[in-house]
Amino acid sequence: MNNNAIIVFGSSRRHGYTGQLVDEVARRHQLRIVDVSDYQMTPYDYEQRNRDDDFLPLMREVASYSQIILASPVYWYTMSSQLKVFVDRWNDLLTIEKDLGRTLRGKSGLVISTGGDVRPERSFAECFMHSFQFMGMSYDG
């Protein structure tokens, strides 16, 4: 983990186990935490009727870091719905904001998570891995 990293956190409970872990990692490494629940973002829309919500300004900030850490508890074998909306909106970076999307290439992506199992299902890690790789980022764990 480098000091030019940001944590993008999404959960139904800000101070649950994942939130506590995120706070500790951020404290130890002096990282900024962005809680997607603090932003007005709507799901991806093929007609781009949501261009004026908070996603693009937030994404511009996130893209300014060299390492992007996504943090979510394991919910039904995948990320939380709060974080899923954020990741789904990366589609905007492939269509209407391609220049911003290109700035993600070569960046490092990591995941922080907690769940009830000792190891999450492979599908959990794969959704992050494939999302990072699709955007031209490395998946670093």
pLDDT tens digit sequence for 102-113:
999 999 999 999
Take residue 32 and report the two structure tokens written for it: 């900024």
pLDDT of residue 102: 97
Mean pLDDT taken over the chain: 94
Q: pLDDT for 20-74, tens place per residue?
A: 999 999 999 999 999 999 999 999 999 999 999 999 999 999 999 999 999 999 9
Model confidence, pTM: 0.94
Top CATH class of 5-139 equals alpha beta
Q: Is the pLDDT of residue 118 over 70?
A: no
Share of the chain above pLDDT 90, in %: 86
